């Protein structure tokens, strides 16, 4: 099997490449990247005017399997990922059952082997059933394939338990991913606390509930010299806290999600539950801080926090609806629109935060087009305009706040391990 991709703009920040060149894929691997390759190949793709980049690495995805196959499955979620140009996902552990034991990880791995269209990495839980009460057997999770730990959807409230988790994660060589939320502060809130929560008559979630927990988790990780990754950063104060910690040499990384730079709380005008996300959409000032954080490199990665929910769980009163939105199929194009088109990041900068950095944070071999690496790559038409339509969504759930948006920048091909897994 060989594919020759001709004359695309190859963007590979790991190798400081940003130039028109050809890419030869052979036997599932990147064989060569060079100008004017003369090699013969079974398939030749003309990529003139297109971007050729490493497949994206999305380090925060809720695939819902096992347990909530009505929302999403490994099969449907990875098909959606391929369409969105994502070739590696980290599956978050808030499944039913949670990924809190070797047995559950083995179960998930069987499903992945059978159904996954792209690479699926597993994240183990920090505590049993994610209840924040008793630690999992962290070393055993690592030995059974977990590449990181998280109780995502919840934060571990008990300081002593979290400190011990960092200690054991460090000993096992695992990254801890923190969902930062102090429930004593966020309570029963459903949107950002402020003018809009008052206007809409909805309970608010303060920014303190996020950044106070960011501060605590950084402090505890620092205490034992463990690595810590802050998930879905949504507000200015969290960005500032992380910037300071980085300056002090703490081993902290973080991610944001496209909705935190593409939407503000002002857009929740008609109680659209697809805008109900945790942490919540914040203010214009927070959006500016997130963009600045991406530009200045304080924010290392963009992840979707793809959180599929059924219509039954979303098409109800705002306060009762589930938190979360889907993102696998729209995140690249939303990021192109908000960051590249608005000159916040250039193409290499975008690929860095969407592919290279998350791969490095997770310690996996993806995110580059270096010869010898798995041929996971995308071909994107950066000027193709289209409308995000509900009927085209491959994910089992359709809870996207971006339906109806006119966008620019379409994934034309996604290759995973040298095979075309998506073609527009």
Which residues of this chain interact with ligand DOR, rule CB under 6 A?
62, 94, 152-153, 179, 277-278, 307, 323-324
Within a 10 A sphere around the Cβ of 263, how many other Cβ atoms? Answer: 20
From ligand DOR, Zn ion, none, interface partner of 148 (C-beta below 5 to 8 A by class)? none
Minimum CB distance to Zn ion smaller for 152 or for 300? 152
Minimum CB distance to Zn ion smaller for 129 or for 370? 129
Q: Is 99 left (phi over 0), alpha (psi -120 to 50) or beta?
A: beta
Binding residues with Zn ion: total (CB under 5 A): 2
| Least distance between Zn ion and beta carbon 50 (Å) | 34
| Least distance between Zn ion and beta carbon 151 (Å) | 9
Minimum CB distance to ligand DOR smaller for 191 or for 380? 191
Task: For residues 378 and 422, give the distance between their C-alpha atoms in angstroms, rounded to a whole number.
Answer: 9
Catalytic residue (choose from 22, 217, 305, 381): 305
From Zn ion, ligand DOR, none, interface partner of 100 (C-beta below 5 to 8 A by class)? none
Q: At what angle do helices 74-83 and 102-115 cross, to 10 degrees?
A: 60
Q: Does position 152 bind Zn ion by CB under 5 A?
A: yes
| Least distance between Zn ion and beta carbon 394 (Å) | 23
From ligand DOR, Zn ion, none, interface partner of 196 (C-beta below 5 to 8 A by class)? none
Strands 56-61 and 175-178 turn out to be unpaired
Q: Is 12 a catalytic residue?
A: no
- C-alpha closest to that of 303 among 91, 126, 133: 91
Among 104, 170, 179, 325, binds Zn ion (CB under 5 A): 179
From ligand DOR, Zn ion, none, interface partner of 396 (C-beta below 5 to 8 A by class)? none
From Zn ion, ligand DOR, none, interface partner of 329 (C-beta below 5 to 8 A by class)? none
Within a 10 A sphere around the Cβ of 406, how many other Cβ atoms? Answer: 9
What is each CA distance from 143 to 106, 176, 206, in whole angstroms?
11, 16, 38
Residue located via tokens 């013969």:
40
- C-alpha closest to that of 80 among 307, 276, 315, 376: 307
Task: For residues 82 and 101, give the distance between their C-alpha atoms in angstroms, rounded to a whole number.
Answer: 29
Minimum CB distance to Zn ion smaller for 55 or for 279? 279
Could you write out the DSSP letters of every residue in 209-226?
Answer: HHHHHHHHHHHHHHHHT-
| Least distance between Zn ion and beta carbon 234 (Å) | 10
Q: Does position 210 bind Zn ion by CB under 5 A?
A: no
Residue nearest to ligand DOR (CB): 324
| Least distance between ligand DOR and beta carbon 187 (Å) | 16
Q: Which residues are catalytic?
A: 305
């Amino acid at each position: 099997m060989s594919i020759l991709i001709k004359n695309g703009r190859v963007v590979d920040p790991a190798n400081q490449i940003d130039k028109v060149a050809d890419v030869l894929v052979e036997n599932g691997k990147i064989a060569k990247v060079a100008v004017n390759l003369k090699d013969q190949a079974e398939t030749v793709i003309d990529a003139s005017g297109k971007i050729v980049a490493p497949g994206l690495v999305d380090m925060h995805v809720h695939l819902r399997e096992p347990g909530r196959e009505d929302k999403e499955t490994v099969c449907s979620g990875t098909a959606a990922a391929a369409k969105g140009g994502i070739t590696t996902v980290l599956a978050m552990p808030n499944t039913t059952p949670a990924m809190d034991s070797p047995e559950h990880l083995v179960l998930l791995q069987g499903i992945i082997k059978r159904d996954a269209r792209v690479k699926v990495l597993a994240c183990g839980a920090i505590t049993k059933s994610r209840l924040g009460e008793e630690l999992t057997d962290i070393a055993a999770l690592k030995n059974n394939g977990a590449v990181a730990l998280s109780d995502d959807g919840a934060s571990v409230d008990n300081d002593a338990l979290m400190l011990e988790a960092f200690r054991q994660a460090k000993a096992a060589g695992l990254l801890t991913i923190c969902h930062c939320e102090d429930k004593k502060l966020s309570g029963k809130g459903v949107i950002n606390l402020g003018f809009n929560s008052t206007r809409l008559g909805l309970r608010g979630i303060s920014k303190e509930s996020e950044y106070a927990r960011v501060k605590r988790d950084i402090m505890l990780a620092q205490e034992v010299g463990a690595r810590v990754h802050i998930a879905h950063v949504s507000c200015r104060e969290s960005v500032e806290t992380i910037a300071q910690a980085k300056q002090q040499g703490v081993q902290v990384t973080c991610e944001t999600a496209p909705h935190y730079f593409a939407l503000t709380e002002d857009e929740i005008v008609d109680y659209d539950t697809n805008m109900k996300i945790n942490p919540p959409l914040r203010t214009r000032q927070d959006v500016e801080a997130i963009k600045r954080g991406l530009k200045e490199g304080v924010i290392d990665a963009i992840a979707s926090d793809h959180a599929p929910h059924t219509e039954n769980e979303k098409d109800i009163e705002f306060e009762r609806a589930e938190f979360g939105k889907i993102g696998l199929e729209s995140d690249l194009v939303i990021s192109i629109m908000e960051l590249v088109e608005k000159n916040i990041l250039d193409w290499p900068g975008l690929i860095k935060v969407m592919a290279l950095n998350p791969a490095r944070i997770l310690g996996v071999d993806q995110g580059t087009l270096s010869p010898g690496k798995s041929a996971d790559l995308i071909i994107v038409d950066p000027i193709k305009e289209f409308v995000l339509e509900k009927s085209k969504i491959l994910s089992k759930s359709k809870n996207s706040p971006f339906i109806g948006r006119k966008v620019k920048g379409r994934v034309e091909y996604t290759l995973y391990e040298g095979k075309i897994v998506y073609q527009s």
